[in-house]
């Protein structure tokens, strides 16, 4: 059929768009925050399987032992057997979130224009996937904000305001780095990294260039005590003036798919397959492609869906330690 979609051609045309600087600029998503999470997260929950190809949810169970109640005591009779045991705990993790974008194409449109069918669909598909990429990014930032933990270290600058440690604008400099390191130590962060918008961006950026100067080496080295994830555009909208200190094991983004890489016809005119995000490594979107004849026209519509879940690490003896600390840039003096 003249208007049958070819997945290899779609991928090839998306590849071509990624080479063109102008088209690529329209398809690259602002997803620094969630891309940083995917590269830093240590949690791996596999395999995640459903109860069938049309399962309503994808679930797995995490098990762990609870050693949180160990208390040293005075020595007693060596012949007395211990009776205390650790508890077994578990949590079901379900990929239940689903978000979609949709678009349709009329066959009549291609009677009067020279556009290539597969190329047109490829660019439309890439643009819609970008929208899902950025939605995941914004949702991730909201998840971080919603799960911020309690500060256990009192910084010498600023004040704690509802779990946001608010620091005056003039104090966002290299002297803040040791204080953030202490905050991470008190919160028992094993692998902390910083998620930032613009609070530290300029300072860290300049420090890299001043590294060649004798008096700039120390400042640059101190800034580099932490890994950074910068997302200036998304953070400006989703969490203005915020900076987060995140333990790498605290959060996981889980995604799942009901369909494979091959385009299959599940019902007459209804095709399913999955496509990979061009902006988020390891994230695939389920696609429903539906052909119909209505109002004297042949129309094909696409639904692109992400099955997702953001999960907070359930293992921890101190419930107020979520692995996330929030800091806010306050007004200047």
Segment holding 308, helix H or strand E: strand 297-312
Q: How do beta strands 251-256 and 297-312 pair?
A: antiparallel
Side-chain-side CA neighbours of residue 184 (13 Å): 21
Per-residue confidence of the chain (333 residues) as pLDDT tens digits?
A: 445 677 777 777 777 777 776 666 778 889 999 999 999 887 665 545 455 554 556 777 766 666 677 778 888 888 877 777 766 677 778 888 999 999 988 877 777 766 677 788 888 889 999 999 999 999 999 999 999 999 999 999 999 999 999 999 999 999 999 999 999 999 999 899 999 999 999 999 998 888 777 777 888 888 999 999 999 999 999 999 999 999 988 998 888 888 888 999 999 999 999 999 989 998 999 999 999 887 788 888 999 999 999 998 877 788 889 999 999 999 865
Tokens of 260: 């494979």
Q: How far apart are CA 123 and CA 12, in angstroms?
A: 11
pLDDT score, position 314: 77
**Domain residue ranges in the chain:** 96-333
Q: Which residue in 27, 32, 7 sits closest to 17, CA to CA?
A: 27
Q: Which of 271, 39, 33 is nearest to 133 (CA)?
A: 33
Nearest 5°: the CA angle 255, 260, 263 is 135
In angstroms, rounded to a whole number, what is the distance separating the alpha carbons of residues 322 and 192?
A: 12
Q: Give CA–CA dist 32/172, Å, rounded.
A: 21
Q: Identify the H or E element spanning 125.
A: helix 117-146
DSSP for residue 218: H
Residue 52: which region, alpha, beta or left (left: phi > 0; alpha: psi -120 to 50)? left
Q: What is the pLDDT of residue 236?
A: 95
Q: What is the pLDDT of residue 2?
A: 46
CATH T-level assignment (fold) for domain 96-333: phage-related protein like fold (3.90.1690)
């Amino acid at each position: 059929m003249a208007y049958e979609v070819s997945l290899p051609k779609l991928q090839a045309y998306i590849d071509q768009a990624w080479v063109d600087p102008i088209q690529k600029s329209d398809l690259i998503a602002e997803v620094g925050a969630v891309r940083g999470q995917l590269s830093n997260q240590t949690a791996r929950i596999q395999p995640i399987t459903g109860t069938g190809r049309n399962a309503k949810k994808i679930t797995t169970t995490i098990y762990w032992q609870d050693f949180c109640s160990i208390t040293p005591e005075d020595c007693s009779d060596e012949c007395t057997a211990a009776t205390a045991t650790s508890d077994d705990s578990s949590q079901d993790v379900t990929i239940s979130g689903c978000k979609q974008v949709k678009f349709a194409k009329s066959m009549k449109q291609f009677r009067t224009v020279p556009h290539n069918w597969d190329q047109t669909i490829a660019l439309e598909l890439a643009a819609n996937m970008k929208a899902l990429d950025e939605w995941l990014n914004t949702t991730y930032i909201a998840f971080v904000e919603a799960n911020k933990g309690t500060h256990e270290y009192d910084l010498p600058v600023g004040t704690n305001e509802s779990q946001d440690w608010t620091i005056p604008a003039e104090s966002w400099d290299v002297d803040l780095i040791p204080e953030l390191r202490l905050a991470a130590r008190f919160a028992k962060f094993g692998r902390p990294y910083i998620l930032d918008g613009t609070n530290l961006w300029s300072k860290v950026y300049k420090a890299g260039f001043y590294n060649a100067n004798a008096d700039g080496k120390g400042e640059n080295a101190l800034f580099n005590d932490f890994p950074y994830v910068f997302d200036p555009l998304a953070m400006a909208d989703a969490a203005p003036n915020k900076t987060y200190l995140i333990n790498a094991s605290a959060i996981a983004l889980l995604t799942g798919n009901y369909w494979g890489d091959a385009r299959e016809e599940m019902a007459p005119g209804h095709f399913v397959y999955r496509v990979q995000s061009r902006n988020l490594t390891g994230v695939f979107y389920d696609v429903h492609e539906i052909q119909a004849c209505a109002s004297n026209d042949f129309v094909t519509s696409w639904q692109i869906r992400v099955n997702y879940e953001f999960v907070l690490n359930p293992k921890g003896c101190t419930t107020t330690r979520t692995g996330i600390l929030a800091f806010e840039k306050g007004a200047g003096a």
